[in-house]
Structure 1
Amino acid sequence: MTVLAEHAEHATSPISALSSALPREYVHKSAHSEVLLTGWRAIAPDEYVITAQWPRTHSFYTPVAGRHDPLLLAESVRQAIPLLCHVAYEVPFGHRQIWDTFSYAMNPEAMIVGSSPADIELRVSCSDITRRGRRLAGLTLHVTATRDGVFLGHAEAAFTNQPPAIYQRLRGSYADLDRVTARILPLSPPMTPRRVGRDRFHDVVLSPTSSTDRTQLRTDITHPILFDHPVDHAPGMLLLEAVRQAAYSAAFPRQGFLTAMEMRFFRYAEMDAPCWIETTPAPEGTGTTGHLPVRVAARQNGEDVFTATATVTATAAVTAAAPLRSCTAA
């Protein structure tokens, strides 16, 4: 089970392949400005090309050491999931796409911020496609991302697709948004932004505890990016950000770039009980030179919510726009 159960309420009919910005409803966003995908086309059965554009800067996914935020790749893949469900697999609006696993690894040198927005191409192949009757029940996306022909990274996401009636049954009382909102825990104090790779308290998603390897998840439903629209549980991108900040905190005072992440989701992170984020840096010598793997786990009410491994890679800061050059994956 995962946590990226997003849905759209406004669109009513499928779209054809486009070459300009996609309607926000197809990527399950409320704000037009947060749509990263610009077009799509089928190139073979269950194979697609999706285009995206990343801004030079962003209010939340800010550049890191002169490079685009790596979670822009994660958010691009997240948007690709509902897009392909609706336009390629005839999934009606109102269905929920629920992640089971997610991973990415990237080449930091292809992430350097240039003098214009970054045009990204995602080549997507779909496998493990299952159906319940004529309805899509789930599949796995395999994504290779390039930028101006240079390898940028790859990602993989496995998810299930649930119609409204089944989702309501899965969530029980938590499907009632008003009831969920009334039970949300008060916000706990944030960690120091610098320790988790942030420069604003508003963007910190972890709270300190008496232990340096244990923090508490902060679910600030007023955050305009992480809570783009009302949801009945902690959104998936919030959990990815929690993994990133936990990894940066574990590496502190060393600084770096989150070049890889692997996550497995077990249940929803609810907003009415503390969710504890626990970190375990890998033993010295486990990672290659300059790479620090950090194991991250979330527990709530005594049960695992997710487990993850995040890799923080030391990178030299980039102070000016630089041209891309051919290079291999990190």
Structure 2
Amino acid sequence: MSTLSTAVHIVAQEDVHKRDRAEVLLVCWERTGSDTFTVNALWPSQHSFYQTADGLYDPLLFVETVRQNVPLISHIGYDVPIDHHLIWQDFTCEVNPSALQIADAPAVIELRVSCSRVIRRGSRMAALTMDVVALRDGVLLGTARARFTSNPPALYRRLRGSYGDLDRALAAALPPAPPVDAELVARARESDVVLSASDFPHRWLLRSDTAHPILFDHPVDHAPGMLLLEAARQAAQALSSSTGLASVRLDAKFSRYVELDTPCWILAEAELPDLTGRPRAAITALQAGETAFSCSVACQAPALSRVA
């Protein structure tokens, strides 16, 4: 394990697994304890994919910020090699809409990260739980918890079988079907829609566009976790048939890999409101008759989301 250091370090692009430097949200990090870290992020006033609405940042920009911490903390905190595969098991997050207001200058986000339930395979980290508390100008912006595993290349290839061949997996990927109307899922561009219509109500086909510059920033042999979370957000939006809802809480479980060569169905069902009265939707990804991903999405109405 890396030794404790109070020095502040600049985030290296490779440590967040992004090919496009412009998509790196994390700026610097500092180790504050054996399993605790402080990471600073910078949010641009506008983002090409995580777009603003009602004068607020997209809540999934917070999710992507947390996601970038998964590889960063693994590499700088637990000496996980760059070529190891990091796979989500569970992910929960909640954002505070009152801290998402867009200002003229980029937003500086402080992330306090603590790690627990660390499992090691020999000297290497094999799994851990990461808790994140995010602050903006001293105000709570959001919290998140992620449980993920780290698999060396040889083990990953054994787990994935023929799907472990990246070139083969990408060559076999189904072409994305036509998108649903972008307005239905609160998207400005059809290219950012990840759902395709079906003959059944509240059921869509997942669009895995491997050419998408953000969701497939770097080649992967399965549907990325951020694609599935975006599908959950869009399905919850489509189910509500109300414009401008913000997905303020996600409770997700990643049960199986979602393959690129097989249709994956996204199902949405209304749940009872949460304890604060926010509407919720239960989203399920089914592939080959098996549940691969499930997510409860709690939303907040535009009138409640706006900041005075």
Instruction: Bin the TM-score by the shorter chain.
Output: over 0.9
Q: Determine the C-alpha separation between the residues in 1 that align with 2:189 and 2:6.
A: 40
Q: Give the one of 51, 68, 73 matched to 1:62.
A: 51
Unpaired segments ≥5 residues, structure 1? 1-14, 324-330
The alignment yields a C-alpha RMSD, in angstroms, of 1.8
- Once the two structures are TM-superposed, the CA of residue 41 in structure 1 deviates from its matched residue by 0.7
Unmatched 5+ stretches in structure 2: none
- Which residue of 153, 159, 164 maps to 2:148? 159
Cα deviations across residues 195-214 of structure 1 (Å, max 9, x unaligned)? 10101100000001112211
The answer to whether the 8 A contact 1:26-1:83 is kept is yes
C-alpha distance after superposition, 1:75-114 (max 9, x if no partner)? 1111111111111111111011111000101110100111
State whether residues 290 and 313 of structure 1, in contact with CA within 8 Å, keep that contact through their aligned partners in structure 2: no
Percent of pairs identical after alignment?
47
Normalising by structure 1, we get a TM-score of: 0.88
Indicate conservation of the 8 Å contact 1:16/1:87, yes or no: no
Matches within 5 A, 1:216-227: 216-227=205-216
Q: Distance in 1 between matches of 2:118 and 2:277?
A: 38
Q: Which has the higher contact order (CA 8 A, sep 6+)?
A: 1
Q: Post-superposition shift, 1:287?
A: 3.2
Q: For 1:185, give the aligned amino acid.
A: L
Q: Choose which of 280, 286, 292 in structure 2 pairs with 1:305.
A: 292
Please state whether the residue corresponding to 2:279 is helix, strand or coil. Answer: strand
Residues 46-195 of structure 1 aligned to structure 2 (within 5 Å): 46-195=35-184
State the Cα deviation string for residues 238-257 of structure 1 (Å, max 9, x = none).
11100100010111135311
Match of 1:84, SS state, is helix
Q: Distance in 2 between matches of 1:272 and 1:262?
A: 27
For these two proteins, the number of residue pairs brought into alignment is: 304
1:296 aligns with 2:292: no
Aligned-pair CA distance for 1:54: 0.6
Give the AA of the match of 1:256. L
Deviation, structure 1 residue 290:
5.7
Sort the Cα spacing of 1:129 and 1:318 in 2 relative to 1 into closer, same or farther, 3 A. Answer: closer
- Worse-matched range after superposition: 250-259 or 81-90: 250-259
Matched, 1:35 2:42: no
Aligned partner letter, 1:296: I
Shift, 1:237, TM fit: 0.7
Change (3 A) 1:17 1:208: farther
